[in-house]
Amino acid sequence: MILRYSRPDMVSLWSHEARLARWRDVELAALEGMVLEGIAPKAALDACRAKAGSFTADDAARIDEIEKTTKHDVIAFLTFMEQRIGPDARWLHWGMTSSDVLDTALGMTLRDAGKLLIAGVDRVLKAVEAKAFAHKRTIMVGRSHGIHAEPISFGHKLAIWFDELRRGRARLERAVEVIAVGKISGAVGTFAHLPPTVEAHAIRLLGLAPAPASSQIVQRDRHAEFFAALALLGTSLEKFAVEIRHLQRTEVREVEEPFTAGQKGSSAMPHKRNPILSENLTGLARMLRGYAVAALENVPLWHERDISHSSVERMIGPDATVTCDFMLHRFAGLMESLNVYPEQMKKNLALLGGVVNSQRLLLELAKRGLDRQAAYVIVQRNAMKLYEDGVDFKSALLADTELAAAMSAADVEACFTPDYHLRHVDVIFDRVFGRH
């Protein structure tokens, strides 16, 4: 984690103290299940609950010191708990394996991280929806291959983003459900020393679902799905950011990131107003995709488990969730303060003298009886005069005698009304937002 790209709420989920508290909660939940099954005495549970306590930075440092000898983090934790609680601590971890604690605690952490991420998506959705309705009929040129195509509204563009974000939210919700599982099934998942009823009770108590079948670990396809959902969500944010970067280019300048009082764009050029927020989102999205690849690599472990996934998850767990959380709130803030320039959009729309209406003319000629290819030749040759000779498209059309035989000047003029392209925008908004 890098603090520059972090928010405290998400970072706190991954603190050493929070991790130890979850390990404690798993151990106590399992012990409660053992008491209910008559395996452990209730007095031991009462003593462990009373003395387990919370964890300070000093406690975490002490456990780290013990680990220097044990070379095993869970054993270091249990050693510390024995020192803190006393003889009753012998019932902690009874019949369990380290991954019962680690994987269950990780499931709790990723579940809670997922909830924060969903809240972040909701903020983004709200910001995008507000801007979409504000600019539902703000006409601009649509572009394909980076070249002027036909008119669109800026609100329509944002409705597409909203729909994609909603899919990302649904994927994230499913991924949280998939990852919110735990296991207390023992060394190879056979419940050799503890019955499944202990697991069922403990896992429910922790707000998770028990993995239907496990080896020594919870299977890592679940984790891969979670991190893939984050990567795809981040990639959508990058897609939107790249569009903003293109639209902010000096030659376009249809939208612009907020530029706050006192902000400086360049150490050398005082005039610069760079799209640094969008560029930052692009870079962070690359990291999220890398974390997803690492999570995929964790799926094929040896037999009932090996430890090759452990170091990976210690890194990508906090890094991916913290990064995605930061991206969501950065993009939400960007959208909430995004500057939109409708007049510049109109100016760019008119830049090529109305050639963006070429398809409408083509279809009108075909409707009047011309073969499509013949109509295409008429419209294209007049459009090319703009590129090659600088002749205004409409003027070229009106001077074309072959075209005049099929369409009057008024008919040609009628094909240049921009609102024609927005006539179904309400239908699109109804489909996306359920209202217009």
Q: Per residue in 303-362, pLDDT tens?
A: 999 999 999 999 999 999 999 999 999 999 999 999 999 999 999 999 998 999 999 999
Q: Please provide residue 149's backbone torsions phi and psi, each rounded to the nearest 5 degrees.
A: -115, -100
CA angle 45, 46, 47 (to 5 degrees): 90
Q: What is the DSSP letter of 93?
A: T
The H-or-E segment that residue 194 falls in is: none
Residues noted as catalytic: 145, 266
Q: Please say whether the beta carbons of 150 and 43 come within 8 A.
A: no
- Please report the domains of the chain, with CATH numbers, ordered by start residue: 3-257+270-346 (1.20.200.10), 355-415 (1.10.40.30)
Q: Can you give the pLDDT at residue 2?
A: 85
**Paired tokens of 366:** 């075909």
Q: Can you give the pLDDT at residue 43?
A: 98
Cβ neighbors of 197 (< 8 A, separation 6 or more) are 33, 36, 37
SS3 call for 143 = strand
- CA pair distance 290, 115, nearest whole angstrom: 22
Q: Please provide residue 421's backbone torsions phi and psi, each rounded to the nearest 5 degrees.
A: -80, -10
Q: What is the DSSP letter of 213?
A: S
Segments of the chain with pLDDT less than 70: none
Q: Can you give the pLDDT at residue 1?
A: 72
Of the candidates 255, 249, 258, the one whose C-alpha atom is nearest the C-alpha of residue 140 is: 255
Q: Please say whether the beta carbons of 278 and 244 come within 8 A.
A: yes
Q: Please say whether the beta carbons of 28 and 36 come within 8 A.
A: no
**Paired tokens of 22:** 């979850």
CA angle 156, 159, 164 (to 5 degrees): 135
- CA pair distance 225, 433, nearest whole angstrom: 28
- CA pair distance 149, 144, nearest whole angstrom: 6
How many CB atoms lie under 10 A from the CB of residue 43? Answer: 11
